[in-house]
Amino acid sequence: MTIQIKKINFKHSFIFFLFCNIISLPFIKAYNLSISPLVCLLLILIIGVSHGSLDHIKGRKLLKIFKINNIITFYTSYFLLAVTIIILWVLLPTVVLIAFLIVASFHFGKEDTQFLIDNNSYLNQFLFFLKGSLIILAPLYFNFNETISIFKLLLIENESFYQSLDVIENNNFLIIGIVLSSLSSIILFFKKFDLRKFTIFFDYFSIIIINMHFSPLIAFTIYFCFLHSIRHSISLITELDQESLRNGLLVFIKKATPLTILTAIFCLIGLYFLNNNYNLDSAILKLIFIGLASLTFPHILLEYLIEKNEK
């Protein structure tokens, strides 16, 4: 099964790499620049969110480990944690944003790479974090002002935070961070060398290309939907049916649809209320990033608890 996933993800990364190069061509890029935040939101709701829509199945597995029979316990805990993150973001936006960026860096690095790495040592965990930090550092390096504008829309009003970012940019710390992320990819590549590990470099250059050519929101949407989410979904599909990917895909769609629709409904309700106080684009940006943060924390905690207890 691991070999099968490696093959599939290698092909997926190569196709994504070609896709990023094609959409970056000048005559095609001109059309992509007109992509609105609403289109990004729809893509994230349809493709991005679905990769976490089987968390209720993993929740049942976790409850079984803890010998708890009531599935309502899982749904309530998951929902309350998500709401808590939103409340904390309103009260302590800078602290939660920094925590979210750190957690997201590790999550992206691990989820996009761990199928290639057998040893889950602390060193590898740190390398995953450095590798995933490219998702955060690249938009800051290539589109610093636009990224700062997004932070300001996310209720971040702490001037010392922005002063720190200015210091980081002016002293080349961003490029140092990107170099460290690059080195982590190289180290992970050469650990127990396998040709399929070229997946790491396809992903690396794809992320650099889309951040060079597109705004932070569009670049993130392309990465999150078409690389990260699809890759995670592939692993779920193979778990559902190891013999037939087609059948696994059908089962995945059937099982993921209810929670995807439910999440979309909550998002649209949130967008309605936010649009009463902000313009549509600002409301969408708040919904995308604060909403993703509220879903990311319980999703990662669930993955961690299952992984720890299964061991």
Question: Domain ranges in the chain?
Answer: 38-310
Using a 10 angstrom Cβ sphere, with 0-12 exposed, 13-18 middle and 19 or more buried, the burial of residue 96 is: buried
Where does the pLDDT of residue 53 fall: very low under 50, low under 70, confident under 90, or very high at 90 and above?
confident
Helix ranges (H only) for 171-244 are 173-190, 198-213, 216-223, 230-240
Of the given ranges (18-22, 69-73, 131-135), which has the lowest mean pLDDT? 69-73
- What confidence category does residue 260 fall into, taking pLDDT thresholds of 50, 70 and 90? confident
Question: How many CB atoms within 10 Å of residue 58?
Answer: 17
Q: What pLDDT, on the 0 to 100 scale, is given for residue 99?
A: 95
Determine the pLDDT at residue 62: 87
List the single range of 17-26, 61-70, 129-138, 286-295 with lowest mean pLDDT: 61-70
Q: Which of 64-68, 124-128, 191-195, 255-259 has the highest mean pLDDT?
A: 124-128
Is the model's pLDDT at 27 over the cut of 80? no
Average pLDDT over residues 12-33: 84
pLDDT given at position 30: 67
Q: Residue 168: CB partners within 8 Å, gap ≥ 6?
A: 140, 174
- Is the pTM of the predicted complex or chain greater than 0.95? no
Q: What does the mean pLDDT of the chain come to?
A: 90
Q: How much is the pLDDT for 98?
A: 94
How is residue 228 annotated by DSSP?
I
Residue (of 240, 242, 288) closest to 40 by Cα position: 288
Query: For residue 33, what pLDDT band results from cuts at 50, 70 and 90?
Result: low
CA angle 27, 31, 34 (to 5 degrees): 145
Name every residue whose Cβ is closer than 8 Å to that of residue 76 and which is 6 or more positions away in sequence: none
Task: Answer yes or no: are the C-beta atoms of 116 and 199 closer than 8 Å.
Answer: yes
Q: Output the pLDDT for position 210.
A: 96
Listed range (38-42, 245-249, 270-274) with the worst mean pLDDT: 245-249
Q: Is the pLDDT of residue 311 over 80?
A: no
Tally of residues, the chain: 311
Is the predicted pLDDT of residue 1 greater than 80, yes or no? no
State mean pLDDT over 267-286: 90
